[in-house]
Amino acid sequence: MIIAMKQGAAPEAVRNFAAGLEKQGVKIHLSEGASQTVLGLVGDTTGIDEKALKAHHLVEKVIRVQEPYKRANRLFHPEDTRIDIRGGDSGVRHIGAGYLGIIAGPCSVETREQIIGIAQDVKQAGAGFLRGGAFKPRTSPYSFQGLGCEGLDLLMEAKQETGLPIVTELMAIHQLEVFDEVDIIQVGARNMQNFTLLKELGHCRKPILLKRGYAATITELLMAAEYIMAGGNEDIILCERGIRTFDSYTRNTLDLSSIPALKKLSHLPVIVDPSHATGISWMVPAMTKAAIAAGADGVMLEVHNDPENARCDGEQSITPAAFAALMEALRKYASIEGKNIGPAV
């Protein structure tokens, strides 16, 4: 971290200020110029509050050189992280470090026939994981809120039937009690900065799929991962799902540049959810291919056997047939990029 002091700041005041900083555990390299003194902070600056520094009357500008996260930082963990997940069968699937995770399924679990049918279809087409919502965050209190525990039970049946590991969203910490058989816990975009929840998940022993808040910066997403990792759980899968911009043609703006950015800054795997990002089913294949081309470690796709009558988000769901066709294309993309797309059963 570099702190440019105000021009004309009294040398003694600056030295006192520097001494105060050293008490926070960093070393200060102080360079007194003709008109301006600059402090270089050496050591672990993650605990130093940039904004507090800017409040000081002697300080002109502050630049953070080192990112404010440690465990999520590629600097201290140069190799890609690979997440290993065992499903209902004996197979282990991987996400990251050359393995693409293909997660597919309906927005919400509706009936036994629906979820098992879709699970069989997406498995057949090559998906590695089944998604489905049991507890649904809905903008309106009057909208369908998911089947809850009954939905979880149906997911478990689908897992037993197909062997596919299950990805589903947790909305509150007390739901952990019923998530025993869930394989990957999803934290939704609206909860990305629910810090109480993140801290609790740090003590959990399951991989977390952490969706980017729709107004979260790259750094904030990584800080949210850091909250979980600081508690001891380092199995985090980051998920880009679109950000909010002035453009209203798509529901959100899918920020595919975040993929190379996140992979440069962090060792964690990064997947993409083009269904929620665009909100438009006919756009999903193009944006899925683009995500893989940009270097994503996988995708999460909404697949529904009857999108028109889906109880939630039908307008962004593709059919099992469209999913199967897309998988054909993805295999070619994976091959070009040297990635393993098959569930390594």
Binding positions for a second copy, 197-256, rule CB under 8 A: 197, 199, 213-215, 217-220, 223, 226-227, 230, 243-250, 253-256
Query: Could you tell me the sign of the dihedral formed by the alpha carbons of 92, 97, 103, 107, in that order?
Result: positive
**Contacts (CB under 8 A) with a second copy, residues 304-323:** 307-308, 310-317
Please state, in angstroms and rounded to a whole number, the distance separating the CA atoms of residues 134 and 99: 27
Is 68 one of the binding residues for a second copy (CB under 8 A)? yes
Nearer to a second copy, 119 or 189 (CB): 189
Task: Tell me which of 25, 98, 137, 232 binds a second copy, using CB under 8 A.
Answer: 137
Is 191 one of the binding residues for a second copy (CB under 8 A)? yes
Task: Tell me which of 22, 54, 340, 345 binds a second copy, using CB under 8 A.
Answer: 54
Q: Which stretch binds a second copy (CB under 8 A): 93-101, 114-122, 125-133, 272-280?
A: 272-280
Please state, in angstroms and rounded to a whole number, the distance separating the CA atoms of residues 202 and 345: 28
Is 80 one of the binding residues for a second copy (CB under 8 A)? no
Q: Which stretch binds a second copy (CB under 8 A): 30-38, 74-82, 112-120, 125-133?
A: 30-38
Query: Could you tell me the sign of the dihedral formed by the alpha carbons of 196, 202, 204, 207, in that order?
Result: positive
* φ/ψ of residue 94, rounded to 5: -125, 150
Shortest CB 226 distance to a second copy, Å = 6
Name the 3-class secondary structure at 224.
helix
Side-chain-side CA neighbours of 145 within 13 Å: the count stands at 7
Nearer to a second copy, 121 or 313 (CB): 313
How many Cβ atoms sit within 10 Å of the Cβ of residue 157?
14
3-class SS shares of the chain: helix, strand, coil, % to 5: 35, 20, 40
Strand 59-63 to 2-5 pairing? antiparallel
Nearer to a second copy, 282 or 342 (CB): 282
Nearer to a second copy, 36 or 120 (CB): 36
* Residue 323 Rama label (left phi>0; alpha psi -120 to 50; beta): alpha
Nearer to a second copy, 41 or 83 (CB): 41
Nearer to a second copy, 91 or 179 (CB): 179
Q: Which residue has the tokens 């009954």?
A: 150
Contact present, 317 and 283 (Cβ < 8 Å) = no
Is 111 one of the binding residues for a second copy (CB under 8 A)? no
Is 24 one of the binding residues for a second copy (CB under 8 A)? no
Shortest CB 242 distance to a second copy, Å = 8
Interface with a second copy: number of residues (CB under 8 A): 103
Q: Which two tokens stand for residue 250?
A: 């798509």
Shortest CB 201 distance to a second copy, Å = 12
Is 78 one of the binding residues for a second copy (CB under 8 A)? no
Identity of residue 178: V
Side-chain-side CA neighbours of 223 within 13 Å: the count stands at 13
**Contacts (CB under 8 A) with a second copy, residues 275-294:** 277-279, 281-283, 286-287, 289-294
If you ran DSSP here, which 8-state letter would residue 212 be given?
Answer: P
**Contacts (CB under 8 A) with a second copy, residues 138-177:** 138-144, 171-173
Task: Tell me which of 111, 150, 232, 264 binds a second copy, using CB under 8 A.
Answer: 264
Q: Which two tokens stand for residue 275?
A: 């269904």
Shortest CB 253 distance to a second copy, Å = 5
